[in-house]
Amino acid sequence: MSSTKAKFEAKFSTLSHNAYGKSGIRLTKVINHGDRQELKELTANIQLEGEFENSYLQGDNSTIIATDSMRNTVYVLAAEHDLSSIESFAQHLCKHFLTKYPHVQDASVNLVEDLWLRIQAKGLAHPHAFVSAGSEKRSTHVTADREGITVHSAIENLVVAKTTESQFWGFIRDEFTTLPETHDRVMATSVEATWTYGENLDKVDFNKNYETIRQLLLEVFATHTSLAVQQTLYAMGEAALHAVSEISEINITMPNQHRIAFNLEPFGKTNKNEIFYPIDEPYGLISGTIKRGS
Amino acid sequence: MSSTKAKFEAKFSTLSHNAYGKSGIRLTKVINHGDRQELKELTANIQLEGEFENSYLQGDNSTIIATDSMRNTVYVLAAEHDLSSIESFAQHLCKHFLTKYPHVQDASVNLVEDLWLRIQAKGLAHPHAFVSAGSEKRSTHVTADREGITVHSAIENLVVAKTTESQFWGFIRDEFTTLPETHDRVMATSVEATWTYGENLDKVDFNKNYETIRQLLLEVFATHTSLAVQQTLYAMGEAALHAVSEISEINITMPNQHRIAFNLEPFGKTNKNEIFYPIDEPYGLISGTIKRGS
Amino acid sequence: MSSTKAKFEAKFSTLSHNAYGKSGIRLTKVINHGDRQELKELTANIQLEGEFENSYLQGDNSTIIATDSMRNTVYVLAAEHDLSSIESFAQHLCKHFLTKYPHVQDASVNLVEDLWLRIQAKGLAHPHAFVSAGSEKRSTHVTADREGITVHSAIENLVVAKTTESQFWGFIRDEFTTLPETHDRVMATSVEATWTYGENLDKVDFNKNYETIRQLLLEVFATHTSLAVQQTLYAMGEAALHAVSEISEINITMPNQHRIAFNLEPFGKTNKNEIFYPIDEPYGLISGTIKRGS
Amino acid sequence: MSSTKAKFEAKFSTLSHNAYGKSGIRLTKVINHGDRQELKELTANIQLEGEFENSYLQGDNSTIIATDSMRNTVYVLAAEHDLSSIESFAQHLCKHFLTKYPHVQDASVNLVEDLWLRIQAKGLAHPHAFVSAGSEKRSTHVTADREGITVHSAIENLVVAKTTESQFWGFIRDEFTTLPETHDRVMATSVEATWTYGENLDKVDFNKNYETIRQLLLEVFATHTSLAVQQTLYAMGEAALHAVSEISEINITMPNQHRIAFNLEPFGKTNKNEIFYPIDEPYGLISGTIKRGS
| CA nearest to A219, candidates B115, B124, D9 | B124
Task: Tell me the pLDDT tens digit for each residue of D240-256.
Answer: 999 999 999 999 999 99
CB–CB contact B278 A126 (8 Å): no
Residue D178 forms contact with B (CB below 8 Å) = yes
Chain A to chain B, count of Cβ pairs less than 8 Å apart?
Answer: 182
Task: Indicate if the pLDDT at residue D5 is higher than 60.
Answer: no
More confident residue, B229 or D199: B229
Task: Tell me the pLDDT tens digit for each residue of A185-209.
Answer: 999 999 999 999 988 999 999 999 9
Residue A80 forms contact with D (CB below 8 Å) = no
CB–CB contact D132 C159 (8 Å): yes
SS3 content of chain B, % helix, strand, coil (to 5): 25, 45, 30
Residue C180 forms contact with B (CB below 8 Å) = no
**How distant is the Cα of C129 from the closest Cα of chain B, in angstroms?**
26
Please check whether residue B208 is in contact with residue B190, taking contact to mean a CB–CB distance below 8 angstroms. no
Q: What is the mean pLDDT of chain D?
A: 95
Which residues on B lie below 8 Å from C67 (Cβ)?
256, 282, 284-285
Chains adjacent to C (≥3 CB pairs closer than 8 angstroms): A, B, D
CB–CB contact B163 A122 (8 Å): no
d(CA A185, CA D223): 58
Chains adjacent to B (≥3 CB pairs closer than 8 angstroms): A, C, D
Name the residue among C41, C128, C267 with its Cβ closest to that of D162: C128
CB–CB contact A4 D286 (8 Å): no
Tell me the pLDDT band of D2, cut-offs 50, 70 and 90.
very low
**DSSP strands (E only) in chain B:** 13-23, 25-32, 37-50, 104-121, 124-144, 149-162, 187-197, 247-256, 259-261, 275-278, 283-292
pLDDT on residue A2: 41
pLDDT on residue C158: 98
CB–CB contact C129 D78 (8 Å): no
Q: What is the mean pLDDT of chain B?
A: 95
Same fold, D17-147 and D153-294: yes
Please check whether residue D276 is in contact with residue D262, taking contact to mean a CB–CB distance below 8 angstroms. yes
Tell me the pLDDT band of B267, cut-offs 50, 70 and 90.
very high
CB–CB contact B16 C290 (8 Å): yes
Name the residue among B178, B267, B268 with its Cβ closest to that of D266: B178
Q: Which CATH number fits domain C155-294: 3.40.47.10, 3.40.50.150, 3.40.50.2000, 3.10.270.10?
A: 3.10.270.10
Residue A68 forms contact with C (CB below 8 Å) = no
Q: Running DSSP on this structure, what letter comes out for residue D245?
A: T
**How distant is the Cα of A28 from the closest Cα of chain C, in angstroms?**
20
Please check whether residue A253 is in contact with residue A190, taking contact to mean a CB–CB distance below 8 angstroms. no
Residues of A (243-262) whose Cβ lies below 8 Å from B: 259, 262
- Burial tier of D224 (Cβ tally within 10 Å: 0-12, 13-18, 19+): buried
d(CA D271, CA C29): 11
pLDDT on residue D12: 86
Please give the full DSSP string across chain A, using - where no structure is assigned: ---GGGGSPTTSEEEEEEEEEEE-EEEEEEEE-SS-EEEEEEEEEEEEEES-HHHHHH---TT---HHHHHHHHHHHHHHS--S-HHHHHHHHHHHHHHH-TTEEEEEEEEEEEEEEEEEETTEEEEEEEEEEEEEEEEEEEEE-SS-EEEEEEEEEEEEEESSSB-B-S---STT--PPPBSS--EEEEEEEEEEE-S-GGG--HHHHHHHHHHHHHHHHHH--BS-HHHHHHHHHHHHHHH-TTEEEEEEEEEE--EEEP--GGGT----S-EEEE--SSEEEEEEEEEE--
Chain A, nearest residue to C278 by Cα? A281
- Give me the CATH code for the A17-147 domain, please: 3.10.270.10
Following CA atoms B130, B132, B133, B135 in sequence, which dihedral angle do they give, to the nearest 10 degrees? 160
Map out the domains of chain C as residue ranges.
17-147, 155-294
CB–CB contact C172 B19 (8 Å): no
pLDDT on residue A245: 95
Residue B156 forms contact with A (CB below 8 Å) = no
Which residues on C lie below 8 Å from A178 (Cβ)?
266
CB–CB contact A59 D2 (8 Å): no
Vertex C76: Cα angle to C73 and C81 (nearest 5): 110
pLDDT on residue C8: 65
Name the residue among D134, D164, D279 with its Cβ closest to that of C135: D134
Choosing among D8, D15, D97, which should be mutated to test the A contact, i.e. which has the most A CBs within 10 A?
Answer: D15
Please check whether residue C236 is in contact with residue C252, taking contact to mean a CB–CB distance below 8 angstroms. yes
Residues of A (34-53) whose Cβ lies below 8 Å from B: 37, 39, 41
pLDDT on residue D9: 56
Task: Indicate if the pLDDT at residue A4 is higher than 50.
Answer: no
Task: Tell me the pLDDT tens digit for each residue of A47-102.
Answer: 999 999 999 999 999 999 999 999 999 999 999 999 999 999 999 999 999 999 99
Task: Indicate if the pLDDT at residue B11 is higher than 80.
Answer: no
- Burial tier of D284 (Cβ tally within 10 Å: 0-12, 13-18, 19+): buried
Residues of A (18-37) whose Cβ lies below 8 Å from B: 25-32, 37
Name the residue among C4, C24, C70 with its Cβ closest to that of B239: C4
> Choosing from C29, C43, C63, C67, which is the catalytic residue?
C67
CB–CB contact B159 A223 (8 Å): no
Name the residue among B175, B280, B281 with its Cβ closest to that of D267: B175
pLDDT on residue A8: 66
Q: Which residues of chain C have pLDDT under 70?
A: 1-10
**How distant is the Cα of B202 from the closest Cα of chain C, in angstroms?**
25
Residue D223 forms contact with C (CB below 8 Å) = yes
Tell me the pLDDT band of D10, cut-offs 50, 70 and 90.
low
Name the residue among C79, C158, C259 with its Cβ closest to that of D28: C259
Task: Indicate if the pLDDT at residue B3 is higher than 60.
Answer: no
Task: Tell me the pLDDT tens digit for each residue of D79-119.
Answer: 999 999 999 999 999 999 999 999 999 999 999 999 999 99
Residue B188 forms contact with C (CB below 8 Å) = no
> Choosing from C22, C137, C162, C224, which is the catalytic residue?
C22
d(CA D82, CA D207): 14
pLDDT on residue C12: 86
Residue C292 forms contact with B (CB below 8 Å) = yes
Following CA atoms B172, B175, B178, B182 in sequence, which dihedral angle do they give, to the nearest 10 degrees? 20
Which residues on C lie below 8 Å from D74 (Cβ)?
none
Residues of D (87-106) whose Cβ lies below 8 Å from C: none
Residue A221 forms contact with D (CB below 8 Å) = no
**How distant is the Cα of B269 from the closest Cα of chain D, in angstroms?**
12
pLDDT on residue A7: 56
% residues pLDDT > 70 (chain D) = 97
d(CA D277, CA C76): 12
pLDDT on residue D288: 98
pTM of structure: 0.96
Q: What average pLDDT does range D168-177 have in this prediction?
A: 98
d(CA C130, CA C177): 49
CB–CB contact D72 A290 (8 Å): no
- Give me the CATH code for the A156-294 domain, please: 3.10.270.10
The answer regarding whether domain B18-147 maps to CATH 3.10.270.10 reads: yes
C272 is catalytic: no
d(CA C32, CA C39): 9
Output b/e per residue, A55-78; b: 16+ Cβ within 10 A.
Answer: bbbbbbbebbbbbbbbbbbbbbeb
Q: What is the mean pLDDT of chain A?
A: 96
pLDDT on residue C225: 97
Residue B266 forms contact with D (CB below 8 Å) = yes
Give Cα B37 distance to the centre of its chain: 27
Residue C266 forms contact with A (CB below 8 Å) = yes
Name the residue among B135, B164, B275 with its Cβ closest to that of A37: B164
Second-level CATH architecture of B150-294: Roll (3.10)
Tell me the pLDDT band of A285, cut-offs 50, 70 and 90.
very high
pLDDT on residue D4: 43
Tell me the pLDDT band of B1, cut-offs 50, 70 and 90.
very low
Choosing among C276, C281, C283, which should be mutated to test the A contact, i.e. which has the most A CBs within 10 A?
Answer: C281
d(CA A57, CA D237): 11
Q: Running DSSP on this structure, what letter comes out for residue B63?
A: T
pLDDT on residue A293: 84
Q: Is the dihedral of CA A93, A95, A100, A106 positive or negative?
A: positive
The answer regarding whether domain D153-294 maps to CATH 3.10.270.10 reads: yes
CB proximity list for D275: less than 8 A, separation 6 or greater: C27, C28, C29, C75, C78, C79, D261, D262, D264
Vertex A88: Cα angle to A84 and A93 (nearest 5): 120
Chain C, nearest residue to B46 by Cα? C285
Q: How far is CA C244 from CA A205, A279, B214, D73, D284, in A?
A: 70, 43, 50, 50, 45
Task: Indicate if the pLDDT at residue B199 is higher than 90.
Answer: no
